[in-house]
Structure 1
Amino acid sequence: LYKYAKEILSLYATAEKAIGELTGFVKGGICIGASSTIGNYLLPGVIADFKKTHSKINICLLVGNTKRIVELLNSGNIDLGLVEGEVTRQKMQVDKLITDELLLVVPAHHPWARKKEVSISELTKEPFILREGGSGTRQMIEKFLCSYGVSIQDLKISMLLGSTEAIKAAVENGLGVSIISRWSARKEIKYGTLCLLRIKGQKMARELSLITNKGAISSHAVDEFLTYVKSYPFEKLLC
């Protein structure tokens, strides 16, 4: 029965696409899963632009950490995912979208606010606010520190928080420093409440990726969004 159900869904998706191509009219729904940085700071702008030309497509956006988004995709609860950090390619198609840079964030009144960079040794002496396990950002921080022979245990962890918004608020209130994506502090940098700087050495860069299930049957609406997001000029969101 499962085999026949898949064939029926495949025929339906094919027919839907053919009708859309003939009429130029695309409608339907898309369920997108996105890790925190992408879901909170990048996708709202992308979706707003997409809806200008695809007003009949309804979009559901679920935000969680990278581990959770991978689980949702594997269980078939979302059509596609956008994540930061490394993911296994066994069951998924992984397409790199853009490169993100993680930077040290401090409050505007902090002594480091006037610096362009600090050393790893300086960082280990300052109260540090860390993301929860399963977060793509935390995964990247651990990998970066390890390359310098430093572990999470070497940091003075003051708080463990589950979102970038919570981390930014804690940093603004002087509870410690942290490391976040450059995309996530645009408003705070604009209004002068937070400052970003680098850690001496190599850049802390990571890929933001689009993930889909290999061999999955996708609707015309999903295909339209996939094509759109793969060519989207993300850098304009930093302006």
Structure 2
Amino acid sequence: MDTYPKLFVECGEPFTQGAYIYVDQFEILFGRVGTNSKPDIAFSNAFVSRRHFAIQYCSGQASIVDLNSKHGTKVNGRPLTPHLPFTLKHGDIISAANETVVLHFSSLDLDQTLDFQPISHEMIHCNGTSLPFTMDEIKQTVTYKKQTCTLSDKEFLFFYKLAHSLNEFVLKTDIKKEVWPERELLEDGVPDVHAEELNALVYRMRRKLHNDFTIEVIRGKGYILHLNE
């Protein structure tokens, strides 16, 4: 039985969506073909570095390391520190070069993976009531009333945080920690995020979510997400 982990391609030319890559050797180099470089897995996108990231597999455990790529590598929307290995777990989403490459890491065997449903779950409120919208963590989408909205990394993290506290107040400081974990911390332990960045994020979210959701801004303090039923 095949027991090696795999990477399922969401996007990344020249691979088609749904293609998979076995993680079956100690190190697999991902990048772009150059005059003096030939990675194990090559993407044709110009934003991908010659040596972009590597995935290592040893004793049943996989990890990923960014190789100081120009446009960076992320796992679940969080940027990796160059040359610092990050342990992968089932369901992790790897994105590189401004999301022009997106891979889904799976540690299930092949038969299980083929039967595995997309990672999309119904939101459950804190009081146990099922809510009528879903979030797909792989595609970073929100679906409500058969309408699907695709979000960027930051937008999805922002929505995810608010959605888990639907109709409840969420501190601005908690949003900064959730959405910008890669930022330098200020003396109070909160990431250095300007008000203009938060305002721009809320503006984009309101445009994308249309009239399905309302983001209430409590000036200087935080946010509340409301569902317009």
Q: How does the TM-score come out when normalised to structure 2?
A: 0.25
Instruction: Return the structure number with greater helix share.
Output: 1
Instruction: Return the structure number with greater strand share.
Output: 2
Q: How does the TM-score come out when normalised to structure 1?
A: 0.25
